[in-house]
Each structure stands twice: as C-alpha cells, then as structure tokens.
Amino acid sequence: MKIYIIIIAYNGSQYIKKCLASVFLSKYSGQFNVVAVDNHSLDNTVEIIEKEFPQVELIKLEKNLGFVGGNNIGIKRALVSGAGYVVLLNQDTEVEYDWLTQLVKAAQDDKVGIVQAMLLLANERALTNNVGNAMHYLGFGFVKNYRERVDSWYHRPPFAIGYASGAAMLIKKEVLQTLTLPSPWKGEGTAYLNPVFFMYHEDLDLCWRARLAGYEIMIAPQATVYHHYEFNRNKKMFYWTERNRWAVLLQNYSLVTLLKLSPILLFIEIAMLGYSLISGWFVYKLQSYGWIIINLPGIFKTRIKTQSMRKVGDSEVMKHMDSALSFPKFINPLLKKYWQYVR
C-alpha cells in the first residue's frame, strides 16, 4: 500500500537535510513518497530540499499556514495521489531504517486507526522523548514517560496510548476520510486536522475524533524516530494551547457530558486565570476567550460533523484519558473523583 510522508518545513535548515537523508535510507517493501510543504521559510530550507533531494515533491506556500494548514495541504495531495497511509513527520527528526515497516505492521488490525512511532531524544538516544501523549479529560495534553530508558519499552508489542504525537504518526486513509472536516473559511473546501487550530492540540483533537469514530490509537515501540525536542512553555504557547483546549472540549464532548463537567471546568478555569495572572500571561488568557467567541461558528460547524460520525460514547473515550495533572498535584484527588463520576 502506497505511503505518503508529509514533512512541514519552516526555517528548518538546521535539521531538514539529516531528516530527509534518514527517510530515504528507510527499508520498506512497498512504495513511499515524500511531500515537503514549506511554510514560507525565510532561510535556505527550500534551497536545501531542491538541491539535495530532487525526489521530494516540494510545495512552496506564499505564507505560513502553521502546522495544521501545511499538513492539510500535504494530506490532500497524498489522498489525491492514492495514499493508503499518510505519515506526519516533523522536520527536526531522524528515523531508523525500519521505522515505516514497524508503523505499518502495527496498523494491520482494522480497529487501529493511528499509530505513533517511539520518539527518542536525538541527543540522548537511549532516553525516551515520548511514549505516547496523555490526554486529560479537561482537555490538557502532555508528554508521558519523558527521559526514561528505552530498554524498558523497546521489546513491548504495540499498545494503546492517550493520543499520538504529530511529530511522527501514521494515519490510515479511511480514518482521514471519516474525519474530514468542513473548513470554516469560505472557498477552502475540507480539512483533516482541525483548520481553526493553526498549531498545538491538533494531534490531540485528531486522535479524540478518531476514538469517537471507533478507532484505536497505538504506539509501535520498535518504530524508532529521534526527535530534537525542546520544550519551551511561553506566553504564545499558553495562548494557543488554552484556546485550542476549549475548542476541543466544545467540539468533541456530548452536551450531556459538557453539562456534567461544567462545575469542574469552572473550578479549573478560575485556577488557570490565577495562574495566568501570576505568570504575567493574563492578557493572553483573555485573548484566548476572545478567539473562542469570534470562532464559535466554526467550532460549532466542526462539532456538528464530529457528533454526526460518533460511534462510541464519551465514557469509552474517557477510559483512555488521565485524571491527574502534574501541577498542582493537591487537586488531583478531586479531579480523579470527578472523572470517575462523569464516566
């Protein structure tokens, strides 16, 4: 089955050569193609791709459409070209030779819709970067099992995870076709990753919608990808994640579940306002509210489509969610009890 690998390039001259070189060393029995979507890079990323990797199909955008917009263009190109699998891969990664084989192997069960590769730290290759992300029932997403020895994971068979990281994930064609969303912007057709997001939480949202449609989300521990991972929580990231967290909640939960969650959501929202005030990010929290209000028509348009393709209830999806937060830990008993109540 034909595979299309989509790489979003943006000012990636530091990484793109090693990334693509490793991809083309992949040993896979079938056919794979690489599409690089350049988000209007200001460095020499495009020149490197054109000169060093002429076999790459390069799509040059006239403006930065973000991780979401770029991937939607790449996914459309892949599906039109007959892709059976679409792989999203970050530009700051390097892959092992058999990563594709292991991803496809883990996706053979009809119930499996999305498979994440095992992400290891590129500069400390015996340590994990990401063994699947945790999806909190209040919409937060975070990395699990960070900086653990890979030895404890490598020999395990594929297993279910909260949600797959967009840094290295395989998605079946039928999943993308099922989860196709209407674009909220006139004349832009359809999308696959949520088109209002730009970046952050798009992988969480995609996996949530896939679970609602009855698919499983897995990780393939033998599909090794090295990631030049940097975590830098800042005001812009706070703004993007907070606004997108609320969009995910409003789109994906049933109305009954949202009503049940409303007291704990209000409690956490007060806590987040306090956190933003202490951090000096209060203005960005207010801006996230403004964005939600302005984009309510698009959010509810997506909600209608999401709820219409639902095959499982919220209680089934919540089995794969976490109830605890890493900070502040003192509220975790309350969060756990509320999670048990809603389920």
Query: Given this model, what pLDDT does residue 196 score?
Result: 84
pLDDT above 70 coverage of the chain, percent: 97
Query: Given this model, what pLDDT does residue 230 score?
Result: 80
Cβ(136)–Cβ(321) under 8 Å? yes
Q: Whole-prediction pTM value?
A: 0.94
CA angle (46, 50, 52) in 5-degree steps = 110
Query: Given this model, what pLDDT does residue 187 score?
Result: 47
Mean predicted lDDT score pLDDT of the chain: 93
Choose between 330 and 147: higher pLDDT.
Answer: 147
pLDDT per residue over 151-201, tens digit each? 999 999 999 999 999 999 999 999 999 999 876 554 456 789 998 888 889
Give mean pLDDT, residues 118-142: 95
Three-state DSSP at 272 gives helix
The neighbour count for residue 256, using CB atoms within 10 Å, is: 11
Give mean pLDDT, residues 60-84: 95
Query: Given this model, what pLDDT does residue 189 score?
Result: 64
Query: Given this model, what pLDDT does residue 188 score?
Result: 55
CATH topology of domain 3-227: Spore Coat Polysaccharide Biosynthesis Protein SpsA; Chain A (3.90.550)
Cα–Cα distance list, 282 to 8, 235, 267, 296 (Å): 31, 9, 17, 22
User: Which residue from 164, 161, 141 is spatially nearest to 231, judged by alpha carbons?
Assistant: 141
pLDDT per residue over 244-257, tens digit each? 999 999 999 999 99
* Cα dihedral 263, 266, 272, 277 sign: negative
Query: Given this model, what pLDDT does residue 130 score?
Result: 92
Give mean pLDDT, residues 87-107: 97
Query: Given this model, what pLDDT does residue 343 score?
Result: 82
Distance CA 21, CA 15 (A): 10
CA 216 to chain centre: 15
Give mean pLDDT, residues 277-299: 94
Distance CA 113, CA 324 (A): 26
Q: What residue ranges do the domains of the chain occupy?
A: 3-227, 235-342
Tokens of 62: 């006239």
